[in-house]
């Protein structure tokens, strides 16, 4: 697998402010068909400086997107959203795909790589929420695909553990890109600003259809949609 490690801290130092989305999925996830180059093309429309493609259990999307950094003028941080025994954890600035699946071991593996541990959508699909929150570097306080109640509880979790905050679109289809934008100087600074929107019902529906097609769960697809696909 091709590797192209960036010195993330050096990149941050070269820019007074960065704008982007660091929670996007590509065709290398089980629930998306987005092409990495086309993702960058869409991100260019939003005038992003930086993104991360955080595919489920894979860094292939980030590595492929890095090939087009110069073409679009967008820096790509290698990311992965790994499914642990207690729910998803994101690693950013990785060298290699994460091999562990125990949540404590995953956090240790990310840090051993010099990466950044992000706790995505804490109140959607997780166990051991308090334990994970105490160990990660950053907590995602707004996820465009979560409910307002789930995001509110995430904000309260940040207050309890005094962690830096993070927002993500969790985009699985192109129209979701831009639903959550973060402007920041560095990850650990309190000087961040956010532009956020909740994913629309039709966006979620489209992404669920993509997921079910990729997983061959055709029985879950609405009949009128399935007829159009056949």
What is the reported pLDDT for 4?
Answer: 46
Indicate whether 225 pLDDT > 70.
Answer: no
Q: Is residue 69 part of a domain?
A: yes
What is the reported pLDDT for 229?
Answer: 55
The answer to whether the beta carbons of residues 119 and 168 sit under 8 Å apart is no
Q: Is residue 221 part of a domain?
A: no
What's the average model confidence in pLDDT over 201-223?
85
Q: What percent of the chain has pLDDT over 70?
A: 90
Q: Is residue 2 part of a domain?
A: no
What is the reported pLDDT for 9?
Answer: 56
Q: How many CB atoms lie within 10 A of CB 139?
A: 23
Give residue-wise pLDDT tens across range 99-122.
999 999 999 999 999 999 999 999
What's the average model confidence in pLDDT over 157-184?
96
Provide the number of structural domains found in the chain: 1
**What's the CATH code of the domain at 13?**
3.20.20.140
What is the reported pLDDT for 154?
Answer: 97
DSSP 123: T
Helix (H) or strand (E) holding 174, with range, is: none
Q: Is residue 130 part of a domain?
A: yes
Q: The whole model's pTM is what?
A: 0.90
Q: Is residue 142 part of a domain?
A: yes
1 confidence band (pLDDT: 50, 70, 90)? very low
Mean pLDDT over each residue of the chain, to the nearest integer: 91
What's the average model confidence in pLDDT over 124-152?
97
142 confidence band (pLDDT: 50, 70, 90)? very high
Q: Is residue 207 part of a domain?
A: no
Q: Is residue 114 part of a domain?
A: yes
Within the chain, residue ranges assigned H as helices are: 8-14, 36-45, 60-66, 69-72, 103-112, 129-135, 148-161, 201-214, 223-229
The answer to whether the beta carbons of residues 121 and 104 sit under 8 Å apart is no
What's the average model confidence in pLDDT over 147-175?
96
Q: What percent of the chain has pLDDT over 90?
A: 78
- Half-sphere exposure in the Cβ direction for 55 (13 Å, CA): 23
Least confident stretch, 33-37, 173-177, 213-217 = 213-217
CA 115 to chain CA centroid, Å, is 14
Structural domain span for residue 138: 8-199
161-196 in b/e form (b: 16+ CB < 10 A) is eebbbbbbbbbbbbebbbbbbbebeebeeeebeeeb
What's the average model confidence in pLDDT over 128-136?
97
Q: Judging by DSSP bridges, how do beta strands 116-119 and 50-56 pair with one another?
A: unpaired
Q: Is residue 216 part of a domain?
A: no
What is the reported pLDDT for 190?
Answer: 84
Indicate whether 130 pLDDT > 80.
Answer: yes
């Amino acid at each position: 697998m091709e590797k192209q490690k960036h010195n993330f801290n050096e990149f941050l130092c070269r820019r007074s402010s960065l704008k982007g989305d660091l929670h996007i999925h590509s065709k290398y996830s089980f629930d998306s068909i987005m092409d990495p180059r086309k993702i960058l093309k869409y991100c260019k429309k939003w005038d992003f400086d930086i993104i991360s493609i955080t595919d489920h259990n894979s860094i292939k999307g980030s590595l492929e997107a890095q090939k087009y950094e110069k073409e679009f003028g967008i820096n790509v941080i290698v990311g992965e959203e790994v499914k642990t025994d207690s729910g998803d954890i994101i690693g950013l600035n990785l060298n290699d795909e994460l091999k562990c699946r125990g949540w404590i071991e995953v956090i240790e593996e990310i840090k051993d790589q010099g990466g950044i541990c992000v706790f995505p959508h804490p109140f959607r699909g997780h166990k051991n929420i308090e334990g994970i929150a105490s160990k990660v570097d950053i907590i995602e306080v707004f996820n465009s695909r979560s409910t307002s109640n789930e995001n509110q509880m995430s904000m309260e979790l940040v207050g309890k553990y005094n962690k830096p905050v993070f927002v993500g679109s969790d985009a699985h289809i192109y129209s979701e890109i831009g639903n959550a934008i973060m402007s920041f100087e560095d990850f650990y600074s309190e000087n961040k600003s956010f532009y956020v929107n909740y994913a629309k019902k039709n966006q979620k529906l489209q992404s669920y259809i993509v997921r079910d097609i990729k997983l061959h769960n055709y029985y879950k697809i609405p009949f009128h949609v399935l007829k159009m696909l056949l």
